[in-house]
Structure 1
Amino acid sequence: MTSLAFIFLLSFLSAEAARSKYPPKAASNPVFGPRQVYGLIDGSVTVKCFYPPTKVNRHDRKYWCRESSRSCLTVVSSNGYTSPSYRGRASISDYPEQGVMVVNISRLVLSDRGTYQCGIGLNGRGLSYKVSLDISEGPNVPEEAELFYVELHSSVTMTCNFGADTISMRKYLCKMEKDVCRNIIDTYGKIDEDFTGRALLSNENTEGAFSIMITQVNWEDAGLYLCGVGSYGESGETKELDLHVYEGSNVPQGKSTVIGVKGGSVTIDCHYDPAKNYSLKYLCKWRKNGCSRIIENTGFVYDTYEGRVAMFDNPQNGTFSVILNQLRDSDKGYYWCMTNDERERKSSKELKIVEGEPGLKGKEDVLAEVGSRIDLTCSYPCKYYSYEKYWCKWSSDGCSPLSASDQSQPGVDVSCNTANKTLVLTFDSVTSADQGWYWCGVKHNGHYGESLAVYLQVSGEKVAELSPGLLNLDTSSNAAAPSNAVPQGRAFSDAGVQSAAASESSEQSSGSNVLTVALASSGAAVVVLGAAFAVFKYRQLKRSDLVSVGSYRTNISMSDFESVKEYGANDNACMKASQETQLGGDEFITTTASVESAAETKKAKRGSKEDADLAYSTYLLTSNAIAQGCAPGDSAAPTAAPPAWGGQV
């Protein structure tokens, strides 16, 4: 029997302890008003009572009654009834949208002292609140406690002002418990353990004024508070704040604690009323002396979070999600979801950083050159196989999705290799505008999961690779070539060499000519041998050869070259410079070749052996012409000008 009694006692105590911490719904009256109000004789008093603004409560009867030994006699009601003894001096006003009823009693007398109730319905069963009215002769009336009617899990802001003289004094908020006032938060940085990350004290614009915000209000937060300056019970001033908690609509709150892996990412979901149009939504990091804003829906992003934080708004379900990437140890702490509406619920999330391997992996810094092709890769584990995956380009206004069908991102392609579990973002040709942050992430049922932030750095313009043989090409017009210009394909192409040689002595000119002839002979031999070898190889592969110079390609038929007779004519060894075929010209060059010469070029195509013999004969003839001393300025007229090539090189 003794053991059974002991067990029963333990169960009773545990139940009482739980009830004191989390009051049952029946014990938490949804109607709330002041505990005590004061009035002066012949004066007036105003009583404000709150009730849940549900559809039923908005249209139900509101009343103010005075308690007696057996019942509560109605003084005034919203149906239009007024007790005879209170006619002309008692009134009730209802504000159903705000869930507030206001009772006013004037011409007070001492007999008005007593206990009253404000309530909803035909009787006060569970929907009424007791209020004590005290009447005094004055001259001063004690200040009543300011009421705060707060929905469970929402937030509340309480403001106090003690004047400019108290600007340098300690400011605090404490909660009354029996004969002591437990410190909740103060300007010295002391915060109660139960309110860490949930309470914030901030100075207002008015000197001496400050406010205290508490988020995620719980049942145990209800009670009488004091805000003050100085030290409670010793110096300074205080003001009573009466906080009441009621259970309202079932709004999802999400997890109060989120865990992220170091180097990975985490998503913080914030809830708001989708029926309201908020001009401002933001996330801030809680500190003892304030809440530092990280990102706003207006495009603001704090400098140190650039590229690694983004906000995704979903007004359909009343949430906005904030993703924080590349997590560091310094990121741990409390984060607040905020809006510009003071009555809107604010929520606090604690972020914890743990060691581990991020789910998404890839290079976080990539360097590319302009014009090059680059792939940004993002590998994911098997658990994300069925998730929706995406790449997006980050900016302070959000993260723009990238896909193969996105015409605003030409040359960018997104593909998913499910075999290798890799998501690839491909740039066919990188431009300087592509530099920036890119995010790879996963989604599931509209919820944003892990993500990976990659920074793409684009270096300067890519230098085109030019063939050494094209570096000295003359881009001037071939038709306007001066008579003293050295034709291209010779060893020297500087037009000023001959004019400089003419001003020297005959000995210097002779030595210069000898050197020029020797170098020209060597250069011509190299060029001709190279041409012969190229002709021989290409003719073996195809009758019509493909010639590539730099990045330009063209087909040149070997039948378009000059005939053996044209290459073998001794008179052509010393042709005028104006009739030379210039390499690199912009247009085809026409000549004064006779009809017979033109027709002669259209003879039957030669074999590979004949082409080789032709190239070798050309080399011998060219060397012979150089040995005879034919200078570029010679005026020997050829019998027939060689025809131009049939293609551009």
Structure 2
Amino acid sequence: MPKWTWQGGQEPNMSPTLYFFICLNAVVRVISSDGVIAVHGTVGGSVTIDCRYEQGFEHFQKYLTNIRWILNNALIRTKNSNTLVTEGRYSLYDDTLERVFTVTIKELQMSDAGTYWCAVDRLLKDDYTEVKLTVHPVLQVISSDGVTVVHGTVGGSVTIDCRYAQGFENYEKYLTNVKYMWNNALIKTKNPNTLVTEGRYSLYDDTSARVFTATIKELQMSDAGTYWCAVERTLNDDYTEVKLTLHQDHGTESHWKRTFCRRVEPALQPTP
């Protein structure tokens, strides 16, 4: 069985030269029997809160707040129905046909944890629905077999942190889904410590930390399969395998997703 540890914890006493972490952004949302919406997210990820309202309130203003009974207390507020509003890390969309307004908080921080309210703005007394947000630190899974199976959600994103040994700082790095072929990179570094973006892929090589980070956003079912973190060398490139499995988000009232990181260590060590 894999061993779970907290990211940033003590490194095990091993000596592989290339390994990586897979991080999946996700959310857990449950509506309790007392009507409180319990939402769970992880640091760096995002949460989505679906706030339902009754017929007749379609054209009332809606908002999210963390303080009740005070004027100008909205973290974000609708301006027009059926129009997306974005303010910093918050976004809000009121779907009057379904009678639900959806709030998203991205780039979660531990300080975001706490109590919020979905609110409908009324003349005398606003209607509030309580939301409890819990934010968790990212988990790290260490696999003993050298191969990782990761799970993502269609429409979400996955981040792969690929670490390498000292001495490989100025080598080119890339992400691929085909080994041992020329021009096989989905995305490749051009210069160290510079962000590269190509379509849905991005890559950044932090030479001081000796880690290059590849991100795939707007995940599609066709993205499922096998990938490799790679360090380009003169004769044989160094590859570390990752298997990506994707699932549909069916958008049910009570559903779950998870955010976690997993580290994988290859069986062979690269040699310059």
- The structure richer in strand per residue is 2
Higher relative contact order (CA 8 A, sep 6+): 2
TM-score (norm 2): 0.40
TM-score (norm 1): 0.19
Tell me which structure has the larger Cα radius of gyration.
Answer: 1
